[in-house]
Amino acid sequence: MQRFVKEGLESAVSEKPRPGRSRTFTGQQRAQITALACSEPPERHARWSLRLLANKLVELEVVDSISHVTVQEVLKKTNSSPTSNASGASAS
């Protein structure tokens, strides 16, 4: 409402650039990260670790690079617990 009063209708209904860093990954990439975490883990592994997920995402060319910490953040934002059996990923 304040922006409408100060700058007019067009300013109030259009988005201005927001401060801060833009998102690193697209929604599609985030979905692929979550899907991989929910998939069957590699042979000889009981579940996905965050490092295994990060390495596999680069190998599959889903992303150019990603850290295990970022994988954890993506899973956390999608309500996938990286240490639960339900997500298929572990923090180790």
Query: 6-50, pLDDT tens digit by residue?
Result: 877 776 677 677 777 767 888 999 999 999 999 999 999 999 999
- Does residue 67 lie in a domain region? yes
Q: For the chain, what percent of residues have pLDDT higher than 70?
A: 75
AA letter at 56: K
Is 2 inside any structural domain?
no
Looking at residue 51, what is its pLDDT? 96
Report the length, in residues, of the chain: 92
> What does the mean pLDDT of the chain come to?
82
Segment 40-67 mean pLDDT: 95
Of the two residues 31 and 80, the one the predictor is more confident about is 31
- Tokens 């953040």, residue located: 73
Does residue 83 sit within a domain? yes
In the prediction, which pLDDT does 74 show?
92
Tell me the CA distances in angstroms from 63 to 30, 51, 82, one per residue in order: 10, 14, 19
Pairwise pLDDT comparison (89 vs 6), residue with the higher score: 6
Instruction: Examine residue 80 and state whether it is found in any structural domain, yes or no.
Output: yes
Boundaries of domain holding 79: 27-90
Q: Decide if pLDDT at 70 tops 80.
A: yes
CA torsion, ordered 32, 78, 53, 87, to nearest 10 deg:
-110
Q: Do 51 and 29 touch, CB atoms closer than 8 A?
A: no
Q: Has residue 43 been placed in a domain?
A: yes
